[in-house]
Amino acid sequence: MTSPATVTPGPAPDPAGLLRRWRAGGQLPRQGPDAVTHVERLPARDGVSVPWPDWVPDQLRAALAARGVDRPWQHQAYAAELARAGRHVVVATGTGSGKSLAYLLPALATLLADPRATVLYLAPTKALAADQLRTVAGLGLDGVRPACYDGDTPQSERAWIRQHARFVLTNPDMLHRGILPGHNGWSQFLRRLTYVIVDECHSYRGVFGSHVAHVLRRLRRQTERYGRVRQQPGVPAARRGGVDGRTGAAGRAGVDGRAGPTFVLASATSGAPEQSAGQLTGLPVTAVTEDGAPRGAVTFALWEPPLLPGARADTEDLTPARRSALRESADLLADAVSAGVRTLAFVRSRRGAEVVATTARRALDEAVPGLGARVAAYRAGFLAEERRALERSLASGELLGMATTNALELGVDLVGLDAVLICGYPGTRASLWQQAGRAGRAGREALAVLIARDDPLDTYLVHHPEAVFGRPVEATVLDPTNPYVLGPQLCCAAAEGALTSADVELFGGAVVKQTLDELVAAGLLRRRPTGWYWTAAGRPDVDLRGEGGAPVQVVEEATGRLLGTVDPGSSHFLVHPGAVYLHQGVSYVVDDLDLADAYALVHAEEPDWSTHAREVTSLSVVSVREYRDAGPVGLFVGDVDVTSQIVSYQRRRIGSGEVLDTRPLDLPARQLRTVAVWFTASPAALAAAGIDPADVPGALHAAEHAAIGLLPLVATCDRWDIGGLSTASHADTEAPTVFVYDGHPGGAGFAERAYRAARTWLGATRDLIAACGCDTGCPSCVQSPKCGNGNNPLGKADAVRVLDVVLTNLPPTSADQPSDPG
């Protein structure tokens, strides 16, 4: 919660000066100016404050003033006024802009004015909900009675919260599994529900976001069932309910004409926030995007680790390899801490965060004994008390450096940071700016550095700064009509109360009616004159996170100790028999994987080899949704069936990468019905481009890898969200074909986005491959860390020719950037 009265910390080291020292060599023995590929200077901005709205109670003003908030910023007041008038609103402004005050003002003012009103707050993580609970409770407002209701809430407290709490903080998972199924016990709370706050709503994307969209519709359905007209002091009746005076949560009247709650959403800066928020809630939403909060100047550098010689695993040849981004981040973190610069290093994995923190501590202790104690790791899996202690230590200056996963990307409030290191592109520009915004949150000078991994997208971005700084943030991608989401969610809704004809429109219209007919035919629902009824005795078992079943528990066989869990989708790769499994820096080898009972037995061992699973994949086209005929080239999007199986794994010696042996595996094949985008090119066109028929498989394979790596450039996905397949002649297309598919049942919206922006996507892919300095392909361009065929065959130069053929013939669409490469 920021305000004009926020106290600016005292003098701090110059973060921009630190970057100048790094570029000049500084204390980093292997660096020089070539590591920095681009520096962007973002100027400081003054804040614009406004008077308090006249409906804000004196008690709330006094409580906020005691926390240093004397006046709201302009965007805070504007969003609060919209919500107060019953308009559904999304606040999409920068990190540290005080979005929490925008939703707390109308919510708390209503709770103070109406002793019967209630508020529901949803966060994607329990940690964020707990942080907001501390904020609300810390205001000391009489009668608000805030409480967290999640999986950690003791059973002894849950009945009190249901009956007496007025500001309930929870997460979508608990709303789905705990609150909505027991809506009878929550009837009083739901009847009086005035505001629903959806925090960090940009995190609800893909399959997870599609599920959450239906959970919110189920919530709206129950509030209409129990609801009443909100009595907001000073709000004319014509302004209650939906936009432009329409009643009901979706512009339709609720039960007996009663209006539903007002939704207030908070998002990182994102493309088309009103559209994404509308998809998520099913409501007309007004976006507030003009940021009135002050911002200190930011120096943003793009950093590429240097090339080092290294031996390829399968040959004696030397090929370019880059210094590890983890090691680079650890060295920069250590140097920043030694200069007294408070620094946060974002790392993509839990293991990576531990490695960066450990390496930085070791370097600092070698230079100044004891200085390493001022660096720590922060990640999911720590106890809540440990996380809170680390946050306090970082805010107070006791800790100067921290390596963290994206656990600190979301809205947990941190102030006083000088610099942020981002170890590898986080997948979307929205996350990139959210992480970079953690520095300079008190309005002073800040430094942000994106350190590229040896990855096609990272390599592209550090050499194409216009793709980072010159383009808008992506829109959040979700698809509530995904049949693998819609069907199970309709079953959940029916289990909470018979679905009626009025609910068909609420959940999506015509596609819902078709899905209901299919559920009736499958025996899951029963059709009666009064509606559709759930037929089973128990509740539907639906996983919002789309992980496809219970997590696989990793158990140390000798002691029975639970080491951790692996999601079922990754278990075949990570904990197959013989796999090396890492946990808190200790190595284990998997003895047995029991998929039926979801556990893997391991024993402690420190082998001098690592393991790499090999997967075979086949794909068949089920249907084509849309296509573009471009002469010798075709572009398609449609439904596909993907069959994949882990058939073996390699053991490779640590350090040299030497392949010791390949061992077979007997794991079941897995089926996936999903959505893919694919392109075809005629053999004649490829031959005319100079590609020998024998080289076509390698050319397509290399283009496929690079295209997967670059898809996050146009869609809010990570390369691990998607898969691909290429073939010189596919049975369904009868042509050379490259497929890229969503790695989630029913699709997650990524393939459709790729189809719409194909020239931007494939043009960037082509330019990346052509610009890479390697001779035959490397991890920065066409090699993939997830390739089931050991990155063989690959044809780097021919991949450029393939993409030239596609780009020459494929016309642009409105979704492509005007400066489209190629």
pLDDT in tens, 582-617: 765 578 999 999 988 899 999 999 898 888 888 888
Mean of pLDDT values over 702-712 = 91
286 SS3 class: strand
Quickly count: other Cβ atoms within 10 Å of residue 419's Cβ.
30
Per-residue pLDDT at 488: 94
Per-residue pLDDT at 813: 75
| Tokens 């898969």, located at residue | 723
Neighbouring residues of 655: CB distance < 8 A, sequence distance ≥ 6: 608
Mean of pLDDT values over 667-696 = 95
794-814 residue pLDDT tens: 999 999 999 999 999 998 876
Which is nearest to 115 in space by CA: 85, 141, 150, 81? 141
Neighbouring residues of 666: CB distance < 8 A, sequence distance ≥ 6: none
Decide if pLDDT at 685 tops 60: yes
Per-residue pLDDT at 311: 41
Neighbouring residues of 474: CB distance < 8 A, sequence distance ≥ 6: 270, 271, 428, 429, 430, 714, 715, 716
| Tokens 């790392």, located at residue | 347
Q: Which two tokens stand for residue 544?
A: 């919002």
Burial class of residue 480 (count of CB atoms within 10 Å of its CB; 0-12, 13-18, 19+): buried
Which is nearest to 91 in space by CA: 236, 286, 240? 286
Question: DSSP assignment, residue 769?
Answer: H
543-559 residue pLDDT tens: 887 655 677 888 999 99
Per-residue pLDDT at 653: 82
Decide if pLDDT at 9 tops 80: no
Please, which pLDDT band fits residue 312 given cuts at 50, 70 and 90?
very low
159-209 residue pLDDT tens: 999 999 999 999 999 999 999 999 999 999 999 999 999 998 988 888 889
Alpha-carbon gap, residue 517 to 523, rounded angstroms? 10
Alpha-carbon gap, residue 149 to 158, rounded angstroms? 7
Decide if pLDDT at 3 tops 50: no
Cross-strand bridge partners of residue 377? 403
Alpha-carbon gap, residue 691 to 699, rounded angstroms? 8
Question: 251 versus 724: which is more confidently predicted?
Answer: 724
Cβ 458 vs Cβ 425: under 8 Å: yes
Q: Which two tokens stand for residue 637?
A: 């999007």
Alpha-carbon gap, residue 615 to 122, rounded angstroms? 39
Mean of pLDDT values over 625-649 = 95
Decide if pLDDT at 515 tops 90: yes
Per-residue pLDDT at 562: 85
Task: Give the range among 188-192, 221-225, 590-594, 769-773 with minimum mean pLDDT.
Answer: 769-773
Quickly count: other Cβ atoms within 10 Å of residue 220's Cβ.
24
Decide if pLDDT at 242 tops 60: no
Q: % helix / strand / coil in the chain, to the nearest 5?
A: 35, 25, 40
Question: 392 versus 419: which is more confidently predicted?
Answer: 419
Decide if pLDDT at 498 tops 60: yes
Please, which pLDDT band fits residue 348 given cuts at 50, 70 and 90?
confident
Apex CA 770: angle with CA 765 and CA 773, to 5°? 120
- Is the whole model's pTM more than 0.85, yes or no? no
Alpha-carbon gap, residue 822 to 813, rounded angstroms? 14
Instruction: Report the residue count for the chain.
Output: 822
Alpha-carbon gap, residue 280 to 283, rounded angstroms? 8
Q: Which two tokens stand for residue 602?
A: 């391991």
Q: Which two tokens stand for residue 215?
A: 């959970």
Per-residue pLDDT at 25: 62
Helix (H) or strand (E) holding 74: helix 74-84
Question: DSSP assignment, residue 56?
Answer: S
Decide if pLDDT at 26 tops 60: no
Alpha-carbon gap, residue 204 to 610, rounded angstroms? 35
Please, which pLDDT band fits residue 415 given cuts at 50, 70 and 90?
low
Q: Which two tokens stand for residue 773?
A: 């300095």
Cross-strand bridge partners of residue 649? 613, 663
| Burial profile 39-54: b = 16 or more Cβ within 10 angstroms, e = fewer | beebeeeebebeebbe
Cα–chain center distance at 490: 25
Per-residue pLDDT at 610: 82
Mean pLDDT of the chain: 85
Alpha-carbon gap, residue 610 to 621, rounded angstroms? 36
Neighbouring residues of 443: CB distance < 8 A, sequence distance ≥ 6: 6, 8, 44, 47, 294, 295, 296
Please, which pLDDT band fits residue 393 given cuts at 50, 70 and 90?
confident
648-664 residue pLDDT tens: 998 988 766 678 999 99
Mean of pLDDT values over 11-37 = 66
Q: Which two tokens stand for residue 648?
A: 């073996």
Decide if pLDDT at 244 tops 70: no
Longest Cα–Cα distance in the chain? 79
Which is nearest to 82 in space by CA: 213, 231, 242, 303? 242
Please, which pLDDT band fits residue 258 given cuts at 50, 70 and 90?
very low
Residue 695 identity (one-letter amino acid) = D
Per-residue pLDDT at 478: 82
Question: 53 versus 317: which is more confidently predicted?
Answer: 53
Decide if pLDDT at 7 tops 50: no
Question: 791 versus 332: which is more confidently predicted?
Answer: 332
Decide if pLDDT at 753 tops 80: yes
Mean of pLDDT values over 74-92 = 96
Per-residue pLDDT at 29: 41
Decide if pLDDT at 54 tops 90: yes
Question: DSSP assignment, residue 305?
Answer: P
Q: Is-cis flag, bond preceding 793, omega within 30?
A: yes
Per-residue pLDDT at 256: 32
715-737 residue pLDDT tens: 777 667 789 999 999 999 999 99
Question: 787 versus 702: which is more confidently predicted?
Answer: 702
Per-residue pLDDT at 73: 94
Alpha-carbon gap, residue 200 to 196, rounded angstroms? 13
Which is nearest to 357 in space by CA: 347, 366, 367, 348? 347
Q: Which two tokens stand for residue 95?
A: 């990190």
Phi-psi category of residue 311: left, alpha or beta, with phi > 0 → left and psi -120 to 50 → alpha: beta
Per-residue pLDDT at 253: 35
427-449 residue pLDDT tens: 778 788 888 888 876 567 889 99
Alpha-carbon gap, residue 28 to 331, rounded angstroms? 8
Question: DSSP assignment, residue 143?
Answer: T
Quickly count: other Cβ atoms within 10 Å of residue 399's Cβ.
21
Decide if pLDDT at 670 tops 80: yes
Alpha-carbon gap, residue 782 to 796, rounded angstroms? 7
Task: Give the range among 131-140, 327-336, 440-449, 600-609 with minimum mean pLDDT.
Answer: 440-449
Report the percentage of the chain scoring pLDDT > 70. Answer: 86
Per-residue pLDDT at 814: 66
Apex CA 643: angle with CA 760 and CA 776, to 5°? 50
93-113 residue pLDDT tens: 887 788 999 999 999 999 999
Per-residue pLDDT at 593: 94
Cβ 456 vs Cβ 768: under 8 Å: yes
Alpha-carbon gap, residue 741 to 736, rounded angstroms? 17
Please, which pLDDT band fits residue 522 given cuts at 50, 70 and 90?
very high
Residue 300 sits at φ, ψ, to 5 deg, of -115, 115
